[in-house]
């Protein structure tokens, strides 16, 4: 249950692993990028409002339509399909909107990114300031233990926790108290480690705004003597979060940590069109991490362009989970174990001198 | 004190684009705006070490390739998280088809 260097992984952002990551040069390191001609990359990076406006209109109409269905059919079994749709739109697709708009790549127009970013952050019970910075860190130090604030499944994996994530219970239990704590002006040491001091007060203000809306929702529910306001605002974080977890867990689970090549620690998975709409093409996750400037609607094109240099994508979510399940079971006993992604013959090889710092233990071939 | 150096030829930079220029152990980014004017800033993002020449120029904005931090490359102004520190800018002039920057 140790890393190659003989110390157990410490996932705190101010602990022993943090110190080691900085000392060994893993923190803020240079990462591998597939060669793409500047002219081509410039075309891929181009921003446009049109795709995101179209998708956001569909998203809003579907949210309002399913919300109307919930209100209309409340008290009958007919409400169930509307809860299903509304829950996924609110509790899952908000994650990809939060993500893309946080990067500022969804829309060309900045304020459109900001508006959707703040709405989606609220839906997810995420502090928009804190999570902007944690995600920046995730891109700087992807799955570097002690540095990355967004490692979903730590080693050894807690499989019960991972299973419960599909219900949203654990995230709800974490997110809401976190917002309350922040609203009272307290940021944790981990949060302070990645939010610059000059931005910390903004995180407190954002948390207070979220609390105001939740308090108002509760007040309306009490005044109306109805659960509907809470079913529409807040609770979808529980009953609609499963799709976000289903797709999001696959981004990095079971793959290498403490490496500086996204081909080793990140996964691209082919998905059905509905999941891709909900997920805004984040299934092309290696491509996204390698080139975060490329908007979601250009990721399929980027994938076609660089797939010769990437591990073969998993053909489905089912395939990816089947592949990683035995790895997770083995990690319960040997936390250094991981799934090594094979590269096609056309790819540039992994650079061992970058990757052997922490992963000299057995790797699943 | 002014210290003008030749950074590149005018045609080396496409319209609404940026290139890298290294000189004396320092790195700069040379921009050509949609209005066909030239500008220069420090090469690296003030947030983390990523070269802005790999980023995207949109109107008067340069977006960093690593975390999408945005600066106004004409003024150096940081436009919000994750960039909080302004970018240093340098005077630029064009002479005989060459882009000159004052790195003094």
- Average pLDDT score over residue span A244-262: 96
Of A28, A47, A199, the CB nearest to B58: A47
Domain presence at residue A258 = yes
Residue A248 token pair? 């999001």
Per-residue pLDDT tens for B47-74? 988 999 999 999 999 999 988 899 999 9
Domain presence at residue A363 = no
Q: Hey, is B20 helix, strand or coil?
A: strand
User: Residue A268 pairs with which residues in a beta bridge?
Assistant: A284
Which chain B positions have a beta carbon within 8 Å of A105's beta carbon? 68
pLDDT band for A8, please (50, 70, 90 cuts). Answer: confident
- Average pLDDT score over residue span A50-75: 97
The DSSP line for A289-346 is HH-TTS-GGGHHHHHHHHGGGSPPPBSSHHHHHHHHHHHHHHHHH-TT--BPPPPPTT
Are A340 and A264 in contact, with CB atoms under 8 Å apart?
A: yes
**pLDDT for residue A361:** 43
Residue A354 has pLDDT above 80, yes or no: no
pLDDT band for A356, please (50, 70, 90 cuts). Answer: low
- Where does residue B56 rank: exposed (0-12), middle (13-18), buried (19+ CB within 10 A)? buried
Q: What is the CATH number of the domain that holds B78?
A: 2.102.10.10
Total structural domains within chain A: 1
**pLDDT for residue B1:** 81
Distance CA A111, CA A98 (A): 14
Of B17, B49, B63, the CB nearest to A293: B63
Give the angle A262-A267-A271 at the CA atoms, nearest 5°.
145
What is the distance of C-alpha A265 from the center of its chain? 14
Residue A343 has pLDDT above 90, yes or no: yes
Do residue A28 and residue B48 have CB atoms under 8 angstroms apart? yes
pLDDT band for A1, please (50, 70, 90 cuts). Answer: very low
Interface test with B, best of A32, A34, A36, A45 (most B CBs within 10 A): A45
Which chain B positions have a beta carbon within 8 Å of A110's beta carbon? 70, 79
Per-residue pLDDT tens for A153-182? 999 999 999 999 999 998 889 999 999 999
Domain presence at residue A6 = no
Edge to edge, the sheet with strand B26-32 lists B17-23, B26-32, B38-42, B89-90
- Average pLDDT score over residue span A42-55: 96
Torsion of CA B29, B30, B32, B36, to 10 degrees: 150
Residue B21: enclosing H or E segment and its boundaries? strand B17-23
Share of chain A above pLDDT 70, in %: 94
Do residue A104 and residue B47 have CB atoms under 8 angstroms apart? no
ipTM computed for the complex: 0.86
Which chain A positions have a beta carbon within 8 Å of B78's beta carbon? none
pLDDT band for A355, please (50, 70, 90 cuts). Answer: low
Residue A4 has pLDDT above 60, yes or no: no
Domain presence at residue A5 = no
Distance CA A136, CA B43 (A): 20
Total structural domains within chain B: 1
Q: Which domain holds residue B81?
A: 4-102
Q: Hey, is B23 helix, strand or coil?
A: strand
- Average pLDDT score over residue span A5-24: 86
Residue B101: enclosing H or E segment and its boundaries? strand B98-102
Name every residue whose Cβ is closer than 8 Å to that of residue A344 and which is 6 or more positions away in sequence: A308, A310, A311, A312
- Average pLDDT score over residue span A121-127: 96
Domain presence at residue A254 = yes
**pLDDT for residue A353:** 58
pLDDT band for A232, please (50, 70, 90 cuts). Answer: very high
**pLDDT for residue B49:** 84
Do residue B70 and residue A104 have CB atoms under 8 angstroms apart? yes
**pLDDT for residue B2:** 87
Edge to edge, the sheet with strand B98-102 lists B4-9, B98-102, B92-95
The whole-chain average pLDDT of chain B stands at 94
Q: Which domain holds residue A139?
A: 16-355
Do residue A196 and residue B84 have CB atoms under 8 angstroms apart? yes
């Amino acid at each position: 249950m140790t890393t190659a260097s003989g110390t157990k992984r410490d996932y705190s952002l101010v602990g022993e692993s943090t110190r080691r990551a900085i000392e060994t040069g893993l923190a803020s390191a240079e990462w591998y990028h597939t060669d793409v001609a500047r002219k081509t990359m410039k075309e891929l990076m181009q921003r446009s409002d049109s795709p995101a406006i179209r998708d956001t209109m569909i998203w809003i109409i579907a949210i309002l339509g399913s919300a109307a269905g919930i209100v209309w059919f409340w008290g009958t079994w007919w409400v169930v399909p509307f809860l299903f749709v509304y829950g996924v739109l609110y509790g899952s697709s908000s994650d990809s909107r939060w993500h893309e708009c946080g990067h500022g790549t969804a829309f060309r127009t900045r304020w459109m990114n900001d508006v959707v970013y703040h709405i989606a952050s609220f839906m997810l019970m995420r502090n928009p300031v804190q999570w902007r910075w944690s995600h920046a860190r995730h891109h700087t130090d992807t799955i570097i233990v002690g540095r990355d604030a967004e490692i979903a499944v730590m080693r050894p994996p807690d499989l019960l926790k991972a299973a419960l994530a599909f219900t949203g219970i654990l995230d709800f239990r974490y997110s809401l108290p976190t917002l309350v704590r922040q609203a009272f002006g307290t940021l944790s040491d981990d949060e302070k480690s990645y939010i610059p001091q000059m931005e910390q007060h903004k995180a407190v203000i954002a948390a207070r705004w979220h609390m105001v809306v939740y308090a108002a929702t509760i007040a309306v529910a009490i005044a109306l003597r109805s659960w509907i306001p809470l079913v529409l605002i807040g609770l979808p974080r529980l009953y609609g979060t499963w799709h976000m977890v289903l797709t999001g867990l696959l981004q990095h689970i079971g793959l290498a940590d403490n490496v500086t090549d996204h081909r080793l620690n990140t996964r691209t998975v082919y998905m059905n069109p509905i999941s891709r709409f909900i997920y805004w093409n984040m299934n092309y996750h290696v491509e996204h991490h390698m080139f975060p400037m490329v908007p979601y609607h250009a990721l399929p094109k980027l994938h076609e362009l660089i797939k010769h240099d990437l591990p073969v994508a998993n053909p489905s979510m089912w395939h990816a989970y089947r592949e990683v399940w035995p790895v997770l079971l083995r990690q319960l006993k040997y936390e250094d174990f991981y799934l090594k992604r094979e590269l096609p013959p056309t790819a540039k090889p992994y650079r061992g001198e970058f990757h052997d710092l922490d992963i000299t233990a057995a790797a699943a071939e | 004190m002014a210290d003008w150096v030749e950074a590149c030829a005018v045609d080396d930079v496409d319209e609404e684009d940026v290139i890298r220029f290294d000189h004396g152990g320092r790195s700069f980014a040379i921009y050509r705006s949609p209005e066909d004017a030239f500008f220069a800033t420090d090469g690296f993002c003030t947030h983390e070490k990523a070269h802005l020449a790999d980023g995207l120029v949109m109107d008067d904005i340069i977006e960093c390739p690593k975390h999408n931090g945005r600066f106004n490359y004409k003024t150096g102004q940081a436009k919000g998280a994750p960039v909080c520190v302004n970018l240093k800018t340098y005077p630029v002039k064009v002479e005989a088809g060459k882009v000159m920057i004052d790195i003094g």
